[in-house]
Amino acid sequence: MITRRAMMLFALALVACQGDTDRAVDPVWGKQPCEHCKMLVSQKASAAQLVLDGDRYYFDDVGCMIQWLDEKKRTARAWVRSGDGWLDAEQARYRGGAMTPMDHGYVASPDGDVTYTEVRTRVLARAKGGSP
């Protein structure tokens, strides 16, 4: 009986944490697939996530998140990993030339000189056959 009650409390706590759409929530590193390319999200430096219609989606590369949103023709609350925490994707600054899982090459960085809008433009241009 105690085991069942403990499991129920754990499940409720997990649902409560996952349902918080005002903050980023770590994925299960190395087990959560990227929503766009299906690779496992394992490299924290390039990870991204978003909440859309109450559902949370994880990405192994900010470029994957940008392409997925473009394909869905949607906007969403989004975060990118920076150091040990998460930043609002649209407010973050990015550094280009980084090694990322899908080779989009952008990571959030305090010393970055690229905006989210610029990253989005470059990622989408490259995806459509243009130069980054």
pLDDT of 11 = 45
**Domain-located, residue 68:** yes
Summary count for the chain: helices (H), strands (E): 3, 7
Question: 47-87, pLDDT tens digit by residue?
Answer: 999 999 999 999 999 999 999 999 999 989 999 999 899 99
Q: What is the mean pLDDT of the chain?
A: 88
Domain membership of residue 106 as a residue range: 23-127
In a domain, 7, yes or no: no
**Residue 11: inside a domain, yes or no?**
no
Lowest-confidence pick of 2-6, 32-36, 128-132: 2-6
37 inside domain: yes
Confidence of residue 131 (pLDDT cuts 50, 70, 90): low
48-52 and 93-95 beta bridge pairing: unpaired
Label residue 7 by pLDDT band (50, 70, 90).
Answer: low
Q: How far apart are CA 90 and CA 80, in angstroms?
A: 9
In a domain? residue 75: yes
- The answer as to whether 44 is a domain residue is yes
| pTM score | 0.82
- 9 located within any domain: no
The domain tally of the chain equals 1
Task: Enter the tokens of residue 54.
Answer: 């109450």
Structure confidence at residue 12 as a pLDDT band (50, 70, 90): very low
Residue 16 is assigned to a structural domain of this protein: no
